[in-house]
Amino acid sequence: MKQTVEKWLYLTVDDHKKRLNAVEQLTTKEEKPVYALIFEDESYLIIDQKKQPVEYGPAAQSYKEAIESYQIVKTSEEVNRLLRFLDIKEDDSLIKPKKNGQELLDCWVGLPEKRFLTYKNWRTPAGYLCGTYAAMVLLAYYQDFQNERMIPPNLRTKGSKESEKLRDALRKTIQPLGLPTVPLQVSHGITKFLKENDYPCSARSTVAGSSQRATKRIRQGKPVILGVLKVLGSPYGNHWVTAYAYYESSSGERFYKVHDNWGNYERTIPAKWCNGTVSLP
């Protein structure tokens, strides 16, 4: 159980002022002590004893879904003692904005895996419909956590595990012939679907690389569709997945956590497999 911080304390996280609302002491699976800083909107930052970020959840209301095991901080006195130990002060910059290629190292950034459990059984069948299925996951997430109006209720209701009506509608705009797709086709198909359903929003695509657009969207608390290619080592062949978290090690390796549209909603893949993105604002 987390303990509310009585005195307002504003911290800078990724160039945003956030009010610290509560703190909580946690233990990792390796039984190492870490500390959760929970902000007013229930986004969170987990830091180690050296104040280095371990995990950053930028999305609102995501803390309770991301954290499963923790130690209880029972009293405000203990909270204040913990804050003194961490030496956190007003206007501290805990995560600096991403500029000039700077990146958080050895820290997971993104959305809780649990948010994608609803879509676990949305699996691409035989054929080339992975673009449609990746778009389904992206749009369903936006409906569930951003704006319920994004998908008409006759195609899907918020939180539903049903996929058939949404799949059929998206297939008509993205893959009417059931053929493989490139980023522009997927983004154009999503945009067409949204406009046909009176939701004025345009999807965006990139055709080369994935890192800049993907990490930008994820740091905003939004998932992004990634292309993975056989020629780059992908065991999926040429395929579309939906990424919602990323990690870059101090040795230069980068990974994404994805819904793979093959039945695994928490798969970790190397970024070197990826090329091309599709995203929403």
Map residue 203 onto helix, strand or coil. coil
Residues 6+ apart with CB under 8 A from 30: none
Same domain, 257 and 118: yes
Q: Which domain holds residue 34?
A: 3-97
132 in a domain, yes or no? yes
- The residue out of 73, 97, 121 marking a domain boundary is 97
Q: Please check whether residues 62 and 120 belong to one and the same domain.
A: no
Considering the domain boundaries, does residue 106 fall inside one? Answer: no
Residues 117 and 253 in one domain: yes
Are 52 and 175 part of one and the same domain? no
User: Within this chain, do residues 93 and 117 fall inside the same structural domain, yes or no?
Assistant: no
CB-based burial label for 166 (10 Å; 0-12, 13-18, 19+): buried
The answer on 134 and 51 residing in a single domain is: no
pLDDT tops 70 at residue 250: yes
pLDDT at res. 99: 60
- Of 69, 97, 125, the residue at which a domain comes to its end is 97
Same domain, residue pair 119 and 87 = no
- Alpha-helical segments (H) within 87-200: 130-145, 164-174, 183-196
Give how many domains the chain has, as a whole number: 2
Does 129 lie in the same domain as 50?
A: no
Residues 49 and 144 in one domain: no
- The pLDDT tens digits for 108-125 are 999 999 999 999 999 998
**Per the domain annotation, does 104 fall within a domain?**
no
Query: Could you tell me whether strands 53-57 and 108-110 are parallel, antiparallel, or unpaired per DSSP bridges?
Result: parallel
In a domain, 200, yes or no: yes
Together in a domain, 120 and 92: no
- Point out the domain boundary residue: 97, 128, 143: 97
Higher pLDDT, 51 or 228: 228
Which tops the pLDDT comparison, 246 or 103? 246
Which token pair is 170? 């998206």
Band (94; pLDDT cuts 50, 70, 90): low
Over 70: is that where the pLDDT of 215 sits?
A: yes
Q: Look at residue 185 and tell me if it is in a domain.
A: yes
Confidence of residue 1 (pLDDT cuts 50, 70, 90): very low
Co-location of 146 and 244 in the same domain: yes
- CATH number of the domain at 250, please: 3.90.70.30
Mean per-residue pLDDT over the chain, rounded: 88
Specify whether 156 is located in the same domain as 275.
Answer: yes
The pLDDT tens digits for 79-89 are: 666 666 666 66
Angle between helices 130-145 and 164-174 (to 10 degrees): 120
Residue 107 in any domain: the answer is no
102 within domain boundaries: no
Q: For the segment 266-277, what is each residue's pLDDT rounded down to a tens digit? A: 999 999 999 999
* Residue 105 domain-assigned (yes or no): no
Residues 90, 10: Cα–Cα separation, whole Å: 6
